[in-house]
Amino acid sequence: MKKIISLVLVSVLGGAITLASYKLFIEKEQPAFSKTQDSSNYAIPVSHSNANYFPENAIDFTNAAENTVHSVVHVMNTSFGTSDRITFQDLIFGRSAQRPQVGSGSGVIISPDGYIITNNHVIDGANKLTVTLNDNKTYDAELIGTDSRTDIALIKINPEEDLPYSTFGDSDQAKIGEWVLAVGNPFNLTSTVTAGIISAKSRDLSGGKFNQSFIQTDAAVNPGNSGGALVNSRGELIGINTAISSQTGSYIGYSFAVPSNIARKVVEDIIEFGNVQNGVLGVTGGALNNAISEKLSINETQGFYVDSVEEGSGADKAGIQSGDIIKKIDNIDITKFSDLSGYLNTKRPGDDVQVTILRDNNIKTIQATLVRNQSFTIPQFGVLKNANANELKKYGVSSGVKIAQLGEAYAKYLRANNVNEGNIIISINNEKVKDVDDVQEIIKNRSPYEPLRIELINSNGELEKYNFR
């Protein structure tokens, strides 16, 4: 009996010690929960921290997004095209087969008085342009000018009061890996903001056929975003969203924007001169890589290799030579052709640039003055260049452009009629030409259905006229 009582006492004492230890050391470490009357309800933890709080160095896009959405507009393009389908009612009632076709895109207000930058392909072929602001006000827009080469267009509305607008940033200072916002109207969804980083710069999608130099991002861009804003975390406009790379027509990971420095220069030229002023260095060649360097027996694998220099060009006058490797222009590294062409697209004739070249393993910096374009290619005819005074005098004319190279399609026929390289073209489509800028403007404004009429002085000094389709 005594043993049983002793065992009970020991058990009670052990339990008391265990309970006291639990209360003292373990229970205090457990979080306290308030028990609700309905045990079936489950309380999900919610953070009540200040929504405006950001850790140090965190990127805050809220101000950039708020400012940009009010400067991005919806652009509607209405054109009239012939429908392939004529209805029974059209035949009975004599209605026209012309059908209104409506396209849409985006644009960015760049001045308080209503100048708007967008893409050329957004407004191309428009019979009527309509702009809707973020506050749902709608205006008719006037086309001020376009540049199909860079896919930039400038339009204008006449608002009753000053408008919110985006300010241009310096796209040359944008860095790969930098956060950016794309703002536009994809699928007619207004004021859409997406975020991403700059994936690459000076991206050429044409394979070197055109002077393209896009900013590549992974911010989602879809049909309708074209002409919208690409801004940095400060809300500065660093690009105009232009294209996506996709087999489906919708975003699959990459988008492309015209750099703001190029876009700004284009609209400034349109406003000041009525057309785009292109500054030309006057070199031909290509970007280096390992295979090309081996073929040329040189050690450099980055830079622009100068194959030839155009006579009378800025490069020629500055002393740049065939075989030079352009490494920099105005401290902009040149590793591929789109680096070179993209930077030159921000310059005008008469601008000076500092060209850093590698020649005979020595680095040298040369100042070159850019000039107007010295040549222009008409696909049906050939390459045309500006003629000097002696060349014009030889053919007894005061103005015109010379034939630098005949195109393969008609070369045999033209030579049989005494038309050769060096002959002078004096007019195209009944408009007198004095330089290749005139030629470019005539070709640009020519209807695709209009024949090409060329008036020239042949090798015998005879005036001849030719029509090309």
Summarised one tens digit per residue, pLDDT across range 97-151 is 556 778 889 999 999 999 999 999 999 988 999 999 999 999 999 999 999 889 9
Strands 138-147 and 128-132: antiparallel
Catalytically annotated residue among 147, 151, 218, 316: 151
- Look at residue 94 and tell me whether its pLDDT is greater than 60: no
**Which residue has tokens 């015998």?**
460
Indicate yes or no: pTM above 0.95. Answer: no
- pLDDT score for 247: 64
Mean pLDDT of 41-51: 47
- Look at residue 40 and tell me whether its pLDDT is greater than 80: no
pLDDT digits over 338-379, tens only? 999 999 999 999 999 999 999 999 999 999 999 988 888 888
Q: Which of 70-74, 162-166, 378-382, 398-402 is the least confident region?
A: 378-382
Mean pLDDT of 446-456: 87
Mean pLDDT of 52-77: 83
Sign of CA dihedral 181, 184, 187, 190: positive
Catalytically annotated residue among 106, 226, 260, 313: 226
Catalytic status, residue 324: no
Catalytically annotated residue among 71, 121, 324, 438: 121
- The token pair that represents 364 in the structure block: 């040298």
Catalytic status, residue 47: no
Band of the pLDDT at 13, cuts 50, 70, 90?
low
- pLDDT score for 191: 83
User: What letters, b where the CB count within 10 A reaches 16 and e where it falls short, cover 43-69?
Assistant: eeeeeeeeeeeeeeeeeebeebbebbb
Whole-angstrom distance, CA of residue 35 vs CA of residue 444 = 78
Catalytic status, residue 48: no
Band of the pLDDT at 46, cuts 50, 70, 90?
very low
